[in-house]
Each structure stands twice: as structure tokens, then as C-alpha cells.
A = this chain, B = another copy of it.
């Protein structure tokens, strides 16, 4: 008379659907923007909200952990099976900045459900993906009849991921004993698209810098002085223009040191994916693909290091005109790194490159944000197969493999805890991470719940 585990999970999930969405919407209403000091209190409120919700879910332990920055949340639900492996789930509760006037159709922090999607900042990145684990573990218990999970389950949800996780490594080092795990599941990535479930096997690292150039001590009249003194806005532009060579390679000497080149196997794995450049361009909302010569689009975004200008500014940007030579100009550049690259080495290379290019009469200040290391999951690890099986049971489809172009502190967990890092994400490229109208597909959100529900039995079997 009993359902199979798969349908039991599904039925349980369906029954708790409405309450789950209400709870998620409540969380999304907290504007936990870690990059903006005025939201410091909101980030804390978000941590406290999550900690309370995890207790409500049944986690015997749920704590707010302080850092030198924004607080993180830790929760633990031990298995009653002493031989069970320990799995640590990672996510983040902070979000990117968002303002209605950036182009949102509705208020970014007033989530709404429209056409089977929930819109709101953090819906996909990353509150929605953290949150599916709460219903997931309850569905796991309900479907298996267990009172505790099949693995010793731990959760760490940090509050500064969108600011480059400046205190996360210290937090992990400080609490290494409590975070210790046989495997780490990172739920802060995506899958191929709405109909192609995939497991991610690696993320790029990230080094970010701001280069500020100073010219005249104040803005000066471009009529009186134009043509005879260096212009910091022009010099910032020259730096940016020199960032790439004509093949689209980053022209900073030493930047490619140590880069793990793609193997034939990896290129073949990428080629298995139903990639259509026109579709991809529509997702990117870009009119053309371009980048490093000799690599496909997927290779460029997943396996090649890059340099992107995130923001540039200097001088008069208002209406009309102002005939000045600006006193300063600046650019924010982010470098994506791949396995084999060392962020410290990249930063030194960028600093040396920039300094050598600043002409006489121009002052400079180069600052780096804390870097994120690249990471890559071993393709032959049994835990990777366990994730793929759990996902396969939820989706009823073959699971393919991808990488992720974005960056996260997964590598810190790998480094400090000595555990392999796996990725379980159900977000899709159209979800608009870091963009206006960020959303999560509700259908996929509940597949995430179901995958999480299957995962603990699969992991227990794989890692036993």
C-alpha cells in the first residue's frame, strides 16, 4: 500500500507547497544587501529569520554565527545512524543590490508570483536555493519514515557572498571542527536550462579591483587646458583598452600562469550539451558572442579566465555638457579565474601591469577586494554520481554535466575542510541573477526540494 519513495516525496512536497512559498516570500522581503552599509541591519534580520525557520523545520541546532562582517547561519541535524557520513550544505542569505529604477517590473523586495515564477531579489540567488533544503529534508524524513536524516546534515549559510565572502574563510577556519564533513553540497549554482537538468562540476574564481586615476587636483576647464595635460578619464580608458589583446586574451603579463588547460574529455563533456548560440544569446540579451579566440562560448564562460569591466566612471555624467578635464576617473574590473590560477599572483600581476601604464602626471590607487579561488569537482568522485542520481529521480531525466562561470567560496570549504565540493543548483540562466526582475521557476524550485529529499539517502549509500 505504501508509495514508492519518489512519489511519496512528490506528494509531501505538493502538500506543503503554499506554506513553503509564503515562507520564502517572507524571507525575500528582507533586503539583505551585503554590499550596501545601509542594509547591515537587514542582513542580520535575514540571518535571524533563517535561524528561527531552521529550528521550526526541525534542525535541533540552528545558530547565528558572528563574523567580522555580516552574520552567517549554522544548523545541524545529526543522523541517528552513527555510521552515516556527514554532509555540509552551503548557501548564502545575502543578495545583490536592487532598486526599482534599475528596470524592475515590480519592487525587488516585494516578491510576487507571476506565470509560475516568483520574482524578487534573491529568489534564485540564493535564498530560493537555500530554502528548498528546508522542505527537502522534511520530505526525506516523511518519505523514508526516518526521524533523523540518513546523513549527519549540516548547513552553513553565509551573509557576505555577494561582497566576495571577505570573512567566510576565517569563519570556516574558526569553526572547522563543527563544519567538518565528508562532502560539501553547494546550492548556489544553476543548471543548463528549464528542460535540461545538469550537475555543475566547477566554478571560476574571482579577483576584483578598482583602479582610480587622479589628474588635476580639481576639475579644470577643457578650453583653457585641453590638449596640454593628461586626462585621467582618457587614461582609465587606455588601461581598459589595453586589458585585452586583439585575440581577446587578457593582456596582463603573468595572468595565465598555471591555468589548467581543457582536456579532450572535458571538451567532449561540454559538447554533449544541447548548446544553441542563438538561444544562449537571447538569454544573455546580447546581440553577439565574442571573446578569446580558439574557444567556444561554453569554454569561454566555464573554463577560461577573463577580465570584465563592471563599472567605469569619471567627470561629468549629467544632462547636457560640462567642458572639463575631470580630476579623477575609475574603473571596477573583475577577473574570473580557473583551476590552477592563484588569486594572489593574479592581483600582483594586475597591479604591476596597471602601475607600469600610468603616465607622468597621473596618480593612481589600486584596491583589491578579497578574492575567491576557482574550484573543480573530481569527475570520478562517488558523491558526484550520488548528486546526479538524486537529481535524476526528481527530474526523471538523464543528468548532464556543466561548469559554472560564476564564483563562490566553495574552494575555501574544499581547502579548509579537505572535503570534495559538489554542486546542486536548480536555477536557470533566464533567472536574471544580479539583474532586474530576478526570479525562480516554481516548477524547478520544487524539483530542487525533491532532489534535496532524495539526496541524503543517495549520499549515505555513496559515502558509506
Name the interface residues of A338-389: CB closer than 8 Å to any CB of B: 359-363, 369
Give CA–CA (A204, B222) in the complex, Å.
11
A237 to chain B, nearest CB (A): 3
Task: Point out the residues of chain B lying under 8 angstroms from A363, CB to CB.
Answer: 287
Number of copies: 2
Instruction: Write out, one digit per residue, whether chain A residues 269-308 have a CB within 8 A of any chain B CB (1) or not (0).
Output: 0000000000001001111111110000100110011101
Q: Is the CB of B290 within 8 A of A230?
A: yes
Known: A218-B435, A286-B361, A301-B228. A318 touches B404 (CB 8 A): no
Q: Which of A's residues lie within 8 Å of B, judged by CB?
A: 35-37, 96-97, 102-103, 163-164, 190, 204, 206, 208, 210, 215-231, 233-234, 236-244, 281, 284-292, 297, 300-301, 304-306, 308-327, 329-332, 334, 336, 359-363, 369, 404-407, 429, 432-436
Q: Is the CB of B290 within 8 A of A229?
A: yes
Pairs across A and B, CB under 8 Å, 12 listed: A97-B318, A221-B406, A226-B306, A230-B290, A234-B308, A234-B309, A236-B237, A290-B361, A308-B325, A310-B322, A312-B314, A312-B329
A300 to chain B, nearest CB (A): 4
Task: Point out the residues of chain B lying under 8 angstroms from A224, CB to CB.
Answer: 190, 301, 404-406, 429, 433
Chain B residue nearest to A335 in the complex (CB) = B226
Chain B residue nearest to A125 in the complex (CB) = B221
Q: Is the CB of B323 within 8 A of A227?
A: no
Give CA–CA (A239, B234) in the complex, Å.
10
A252 to chain B, nearest CB (A): 14
